[in-house]
Amino acid sequence: MSPDQPVVDAINSAIDDLNEILDSEERLGQSPEIALIGNDARLDSLGLVNLIVLVEEKIQQRFGVAITLVDERAMSQSKSPFRTLGSLTDFVEEQLNDHGR
């Protein structure tokens, strides 16, 4: 299943905002394979938190729905939804679907 383009656009907008405050070696691209956590991640923990907050804000602006990405559901999954940009996108879509979008 291919990701919903408005969700991808909102996440890419959050990445653009985050990249404005990051050093050049930390900046993220917009490929679904980009690692957000783990050894290959470019972001430190604060960068990841900033990205999550920006994604939540962009989703609120674009869809009028307040979602919380860091919750018990996210933390209890066997594979973190924050592994890659693609897994984050899938998780955002699940959250939106749960809110009746």
CATH number at residue 68: 1.10.1200.10
The pTM of the full predicted model, rounded to 2 decimals, is 0.91
Encode pLDDT of 2-30 as tens digits. 678 999 999 999 999 999 999 888 899 99
Helix residue ranges per DSSP H, the chain: 5-19, 45-63, 72-76, 85-98
Instruction: Give the position of tokens 């994604």.
Output: 55
Q: Are 54 and 5 in contact (CB under 8 A)?
A: no
Q: Are 5 and 96 in contact (CB under 8 A)?
A: no
Instruction: For residue 61, give every residue at least 6 positions away whose Cβ sits within 8 Å of its Cβ, in sequence order, or none.
Output: 10
Please give the pLDDT value at position 65.
93
Rounded-to-integer distance, Cα 7 and Cα 92, Å: 8
Structural domain boundaries, residue 72: 5-98
Q: What is the mean pLDDT of the segment spanning 48-71?
A: 95
Domain tally for the chain? 1
